Amino acid sequence: MLYLIYPLNALLMMALGVGLGLFLARRLNLRWGLFGVGAVTFVASQVVHIPLNYGLTWLFANHVLPGPPAEWQLLFNVTVLGLTAGLCEETARYAVYRWWIRSARTWREALMFGAGHGGIEAIL
């Protein structure tokens, strides 16, 4: 049964991500460029985020940085992974709004940008 569900899931993730962009572009009369910029922003943030997590993992595994006690390991991992994701993604978003799409300041444009960012995140 999973051989049917997994491909269906992949198709839905792609279709819904792009479909939302199509809906917003038509309904709110927005340009597709913002959708693309949002997608590129997420990918760029991951170019930093993933190696950062690998580096931190190596530092903790090789005892360069002290790790938490075993009973705190799960909470520690969740916190560190969440903070690195937030740091990388928000920094990328700030940089894009600051230097690339300076004129996109309406909530409608932010929605299209966010749809591209979240859409590619769901697809990947």
Question: Rounded mean pLDDT of 80-104?
Answer: 97
Helix axes 32-61, 107-123, angle to 10 degrees: 50
Could you tell me what percent of the chain has a pLDDT over 90?
Answer: 98
- The tokens for 93 are 């978003």
CA–CA dist 119, 2 (Å, integer): 23
Q: How many domains does the chain have?
A: 1
Question: Rounded mean pLDDT of 73-101?
Answer: 98
DSSP code of 29? T
How far are the Cα atoms of 1, 26, 61 from residue 99, in angstroms, in the given order? 48, 27, 37
Could you tell me the residue range of the domain that residue 49 belongs to? Answer: 2-123
pLDDT, one tens digit per residue, over 94-124 is: 999 999 999 999 999 999 999 999 999 999 9
| pTM listed for this prediction | 0.90
pLDDT, one tens digit per residue, over 10-56 is: 999 999 999 999 999 999 999 999 999 999 999 999 999 999 999 99
Instruction: Reduce the DSSP state of residue 17 to 3 states and report it.
Output: helix
pLDDT of 1 higher than 90: no
